[in-house]
Amino acid sequence: MSSASEVNNNKIDKSLNKANLIGPFIPFIQQLTRLLVLLFMVTTLLFFMLRLAGDPALVLAGNDASPEQLAAIRAQYGLDKPLLIQYFNYMLNLLQGDFGRSLASGEPAMGKVLTMLPATLLIAGLAMLISILIAIPLGAWLGFKPERPDRRAVSGIIFVFQGVPGFVTALIFIQVFAVNLRLLPSLGMEWGTIEYINLFSNLSIPIPIPSKTWILPSCSLAWFLMPSLTRVVAANTSEAMREDYIRTARAGGASGKSVLWRHALPNALLGAAALIGTQFAFLMGGAVITETIFAWPGIGWLLIESTQTLDFPVVQALAFCIAILVFIVNAITELSFQFLDPRLRSKGN
Amino acid sequence: MSQTVVEVDNLSLEFLSPAGNLMALKGVSLEISKGEIVGIVGESGSGKSVTAMNLLQLLPKTKINIPSGSVSVLNKNVTEMTEEQLQVLRGAEISMIFQEPMTALNPVLKVKDQINDILFRHKKISPKEAEEISIGLLRDMKITDPFRVYESFPHELSGGMRQRVMIAMAFSCSPKLIIADEPTTALDVTVQAQILSLLKERAKKTETSVLLITHDLAVVAQLCDRVYVMYKGEFVEEGKTNQVIGSATHPYTKALLNSLPEGKTPKSRLATIEDSLTETAKESIPENKTISSINSHEIILEIINGSIEYPKDYNIFGAPISFHKAVDQVTLSLEEGKTFSLVGESGCGKTSLANSIVGLNQLSNGEIKYKGINIKDQPPEVRREIQIVFQDPQSSLDPRWPVWKIMTEPLTAEQTPTYKELRIKASELCEMVGLEPQFIDRLPHEFSGGQRQRIAIGRALSVRPKLLVLDEPTSALDVSVQAQILNLLLDLQSEFNLSYFFISHDVAVVKHISDMVAVMYQSKVVEMGEAIEVLTSPKHEYTKNLMSSVPTLEIKQ
């Protein structure tokens, strides 16, 4: 009996040693595997779904093209081959980093996306920042004493905000701030004085210098996230206020301020951080609407345009980029969880 | 000793609610002198925590109304103080120790920050001095590695350690009064003994008054100089601890003492509060009738070398690479019609073993035999003869299901009885477990804790089981309700010749109900035998320690 258990122990010891060697990298490898699976599925699904959407040759050739012209265009872009062959060719090119060329303009698809990406990242980042800056103090204030009449009224207003579609708020913003008050521009984008610097030969990165044109698009986009985030912070705060450790803090003589900011809010933010991660994908959807309304030259606008012209390579490259972005934001959220919650920190170790 | 620290005079308090106001306290008067340890004992909902919270004015002011009475702490009328004045008092002059060490400490702050917060709030000291004071306090709490604990987050500490931290926090500003609200209820009995002696020692040394709130008369007997007995918002009895426990005068106090299994003949009926408070009921209860079970000596359940392992770490592919042993090579057997009890502290593997009997988890090694055959080879209709009752009736019943549906759910597993048949069956089961049959359409939240546990037992009985696995069936209940449930279990056992596999951390209950007992410690069974023998003359070190830690009603002076 004892020898058997010894053998068993040895086995466990050995496997433990093995685990220690690769142990620290396990989360990283797991994340990477997940990302690769995600990208494979996104590209594959989108490839076949886009082929269902229509024939790009018809769009390219125009309405009064003859069958011969159509056939020539199909042959030129490789659209005459069987679908599976097209798929394998596409995936092979993808593995070499080649996303194909735009059907509309002939530029490299990924290059086109990457030049538009910073504009979207700018308003998405600003929108998130605005949402967080409003939602945390407002949510904390609402959740601290939710039964007060003033808090109830504000909660009601936020609830209504949450129900208003994003494009309606965007149009109201334009009407009020651009048309009536003439305070802010409602169309286009300016980067400030310096427009671009060339980082590589074909990829240029703009330098963001605050410009009035950013304000309305990012505020409208923030509207997609802010109400729900405020409500989550408020709900979590009022829940945390009912916890036993709040009673402990009060029994130790803590003032109302200290109870809220030091004891309740850090716990309440754990739930809010999770929401930010999941809502980022939603924010990208919001970017499509916002950029179209404000003629903002970002990837949301590009997505609408390339879908309308059935520009498959560009749509594919866009989806690829957005998938990676959503993935990165979620990974950051997970990390921030470990920063906020000590219980997860020690688990990670 | 004559200096008065707390004086509550004829205090009444009601909770305001739209559905009608609820009188929580009815003319309560309380006095605590300097250095005195005073207990308030009573059942849940009797108003003892409300009394304590009111001393610190911690109840939400908008939700209460105080029609009469005054509360004075350290000669200050706290009911008339402003929130700012109270904040100076709280933590410095009066501090509080709460029940649940798991939830009473803030999970995102280090022990260091939680103690220092209080120190900085009430004293003008440097961080260095604060650290010195804190470490000293932790050391006084008999924490062997105070520096590690000081730098820890609450989740990194055990329940007992957290409660020591709580007590250290309470003593940090040398208060005049400490209110301890069920400070040891959530702890294992061996830890409870340590915590109680720590509290008493420290309070006596610093001449701090303590108001101890508990449901456990034995804890009061160990700790308190004086005790108040609370029942439905009133103090029904008050006096020196030995007087109250030795010669109780009020019927409620007597009833409370009688409902304790401690010192009663094993398997005798325990008195319940209702019996004692209504004279008529007394005659219908057969006094101390010992219930005998049929001795068939047939072994109904056997566990042979049973081990349970849970995976601890995983490799890249999600396959487990190291294991935590929850149950380690346990061998035991249960005779038909008998009660086999498993005693041990939390985390020792009791529940894992119980779940494996009903198939809720699997043994990693060894086997379980039911009626001589490996349980996995038994047909489903035989396996159905084993049923389980869980610990917490608050959460183990589906809140959206009516009672009849809950109770008869096991019957619908294989057959499809009609609605009518199920309702008739449910009424029968209700009668069996002592519930009114007309309640079968009600939802679980309309019942009290004891009634809910009856529903859970009724559900287990629906398929006519031979063996009931009872996982701490009374530990979430008040003592008088516990007495009712224990009586019911004993009645059902003699009526249906049931076998019980009973799991508990409460030695007095186990002693009362069991024929055989096994003591579990760190995943292993360390001692096993006849219940009386094991629990009165323990052999193993752990059992001895356990038995000496159990608080008793005997007063040690």
Q: A19 CB contacts (<8 Å, ≥6 apart)?
A: B313, B315, B321, B322
Provide the chain A residues 214-273 that lie in CB contact (below 8 A) with chain B. Answer: 243-245, 247-256, 258, 262-263, 266-267
Residue in B59, B106, B211 to test binding to A, most A beta-carbons within 10 Å: B106
Instruction: Tell me which residue in A18, A147, A250 faces B58 most closely, judged by beta carbons.
Output: A250
Q: B398 CB contacts (<8 Å, ≥6 apart)?
A: B406, B444
Structure confidence at residue B222 as a pLDDT band (50, 70, 90): confident
Does the distance separating the beta carbons of A251 and B90 come in below 8 Å? yes
What per-residue confidence (pLDDT) applies to B20? 77
Q: Does A340 touch chain B (CB under 8 A)?
A: yes
- Taking only the tens place, the pLDDT of each residue in A199-256 is 555 555 555 566 777 888 888 899 888 998 999 999 999 999 988 899 889 888 888 8
In contact, B223 and B182? CB cutoff 8 Å: no
Does the distance separating the beta carbons of A247 and B98 come in below 8 Å? yes
pLDDT at B296 over 70: no
pLDDT at B301 over 70: yes
* CA nearest to B55 within chain A: A251
What per-residue confidence (pLDDT) applies to B38? 94
Give which of A215, A156, A157, A169 is closest to A189, Cα–Cα: A215
Mean pLDDT on B449-466: 90
What per-residue confidence (pLDDT) applies to B503? 92
Q: Does A55 touch chain B (CB under 8 A)?
A: no
* CA–CA separation, A174 and A216 (whole Å): 8
* CA nearest to A19 within chain B: B315
* CA nearest to A33 within chain B: B316
- Taking only the tens place, the pLDDT of each residue in A28-49 is 787 888 889 999 999 999 888 8
DSSP state, B556? Answer: P
Q: Tell me, what CATH number does B17's domain have?
A: 3.40.50.300
Cβ-in-10-Å burial (0-12, 13-18, 19+) of A204 comes to: middle
- Taking only the tens place, the pLDDT of each residue in A292-306 is 888 888 888 899 988
Query: Range with the lowest mean pLDDT among A223-227, B6-10, B318-322?
Result: B318-322
**Nearest CA of chain A to the CA of B116: how many Å?**
11
Q: Does A13 touch chain B (CB under 8 A)?
A: no
Average pLDDT, chain A: 81
- What is the residue-wise DSSP string for A150-168? HHHHHHHHHHHHHHS-HHH
Provide the chain A residues 30-49 that lie in CB contact (below 8 A) with chain B. Answer: 30
What per-residue confidence (pLDDT) applies to B285? 43
Query: Range with the lowest mean pLDDT among A22-26, B34-38, B50-54, B408-412?
Result: A22-26
pLDDT at B323 over 90: no
What per-residue confidence (pLDDT) applies to A242? 87
- What is the residue-wise DSSP string for B518-556? EEEETTEEEEEEEHHHHHHS--SHHHHHHHHHS--SSPP
What per-residue confidence (pLDDT) applies to B277? 57
pLDDT at B282 over 80: no
CATH code: domain A109-348 is: 1.10.3720.10
Does the distance separating the beta carbons of A245 and B315 come in below 8 Å? no
Identity of the residue numbered A321:
C
Mean pLDDT on B212-222: 89
Identity of the residue numbered B383:
R
What per-residue confidence (pLDDT) applies to B208? 92
Mean pLDDT on B337-353: 88
Higher pLDDT pick, A163 / A349: A163
Residues of chain B contacting residue A250, judged by C-beta atoms under 8 Å apart: 58, 90
- Taking only the tens place, the pLDDT of each residue in B330-342 is 999 999 889 999 9
What per-residue confidence (pLDDT) applies to B257? 86
Is-above-0.80 flag for pTM?
Answer: no
* CA nearest to A340 within chain B: B108
Q: B174 CB contacts (<8 Å, ≥6 apart)?
A: B206, B208
Query: Range with the lowest mean pLDDT among A73-87, B100-114, B240-254, B290-304?
Result: B290-304
Instruction: Report the DSSP pairing between strands B64-73 and B320-335.
Output: unpaired
Mean pLDDT: which of A13-17, A344-348, B271-275, B381-385 is highest?
Answer: B381-385
pLDDT at A3 over 50: no
Give which of A12, A111, A139, A60 is closest to A318, Cα–Cα: A111
Instruction: Tell me which residue in A29, A253, A266 faces B91 most closely, judged by beta carbons.
Output: A253
- The dihedrals phi and psi of B373, each to the nearest 5 degrees, come to -120, 140
Cβ-in-10-Å burial (0-12, 13-18, 19+) of B346 comes to: middle
**Structural domain of B171:** 4-258
* CA–CA separation, B487 and A280 (whole Å): 58
**Nearest CA of chain B to the CA of A124: how many Å?**
30
Residue in B59, B82, B316 to test binding to A, most A beta-carbons within 10 Å: B316
pLDDT at B469 over 90: yes
Q: How many domains does chain B have?
A: 1
Residues of chain A contacting residue B100, judged by C-beta atoms under 8 Å apart: 244
Query: Range with the lowest mean pLDDT among B107-116, B309-318, B346-355?
Result: B309-318
Q: Does residue B336 sit within a domain?
A: no
Identity of the residue numbered B494:
S
In contact, B73 and B89? CB cutoff 8 Å: yes
* CA–CA separation, B264 and A308 (whole Å): 85
What per-residue confidence (pLDDT) applies to B69? 86
Residues of chain B contacting residue A15, judged by C-beta atoms under 8 Å apart: 315, 321-322
Token pair recorded at residue B167: 């007590």
Average pLDDT, chain B: 86
- Taking only the tens place, the pLDDT of each residue in B140-179 is 888 888 999 999 998 888 888 898 899 999 999 999 999 9
What per-residue confidence (pLDDT) applies to A275? 80
Instruction: Tell me which residue in A244, A252, A253 faces B100 most closely, judged by beta carbons.
Output: A244
Residue in B111, B317, B321 to test binding to A, most A beta-carbons within 10 Å: B321
* CA nearest to B179 within chain A: A251
- Taking only the tens place, the pLDDT of each residue in A124-139 is 888 999 999 999 999 9
CB pairs under 8 A between A and B: 99
Instruction: Tell me which residue in B105, B108, B313 faces A19 most closely, judged by beta carbons.
Output: B313
Does the distance separating the beta carbons of B103 and A252 come in below 8 Å? no
pLDDT at B300 over 60: yes
* CA–CA separation, B365 and B305 (whole Å): 7
Residue carrying structure tokens 């979207």: A120
What per-residue confidence (pLDDT) applies to A20? 57
Within B278-314, residue ranges assigned H as helices are: 279-284
Does the distance separating the beta carbons of A19 and B122 come in below 8 Å? no
Mean pLDDT on A317-321: 91
Residues of chain A contacting residue B89, judged by C-beta atoms under 8 Å apart: 253
pLDDT at B288 over 60: no
Residues of chain A contacting residue B166, judged by C-beta atoms under 8 Å apart: 248
Higher pLDDT pick, A338 / A248: A248
Q: Is the ipTM of this complex over 0.95?
A: no
Mean pLDDT on B416-426: 89
Share of chain B above pLDDT 90, in %: 30
Instruction: Tell me which residue in B108, B153, B322 faces A266 most closely, judged by beta carbons.
Output: B108
Instruction: Tell me which residue in B56, B105, B321 faces A245 most closely, judged by beta carbons.
Output: B105
pLDDT at A5 over 60: no
What per-residue confidence (pLDDT) applies to A12? 45
pLDDT at B346 over 90: no
Outline where DSSP puts E strands in B268-364.
299-314, 320-335, 339-343
Instruction: Compute how many other C-beta atoms are within 10 angstroms of the C-beta atom of residue B485.
Output: 26
pLDDT at B443 over 80: yes
What per-residue confidence (pLDDT) applies to B368? 92
Residues of chain B contacting residue A254, judged by C-beta atoms under 8 Å apart: 87, 91, 117, 121
Q: Does residue B371 sit within a domain?
A: no
* CA–CA separation, B185 and B34 (whole Å): 26
Residues of chain B contacting residue A340, judged by C-beta atoms under 8 Å apart: 108
What per-residue confidence (pLDDT) applies to B402? 92
Instruction: Tell me which residue in A252, A341, A342 faces B117 most closely, judged by beta carbons.
Output: A252
CB-based burial, B219-238: b 16+ in 10 Å, e otherwise: bbbbbbbbbbbbbebbbbbb
pLDDT at A112 over 80: yes
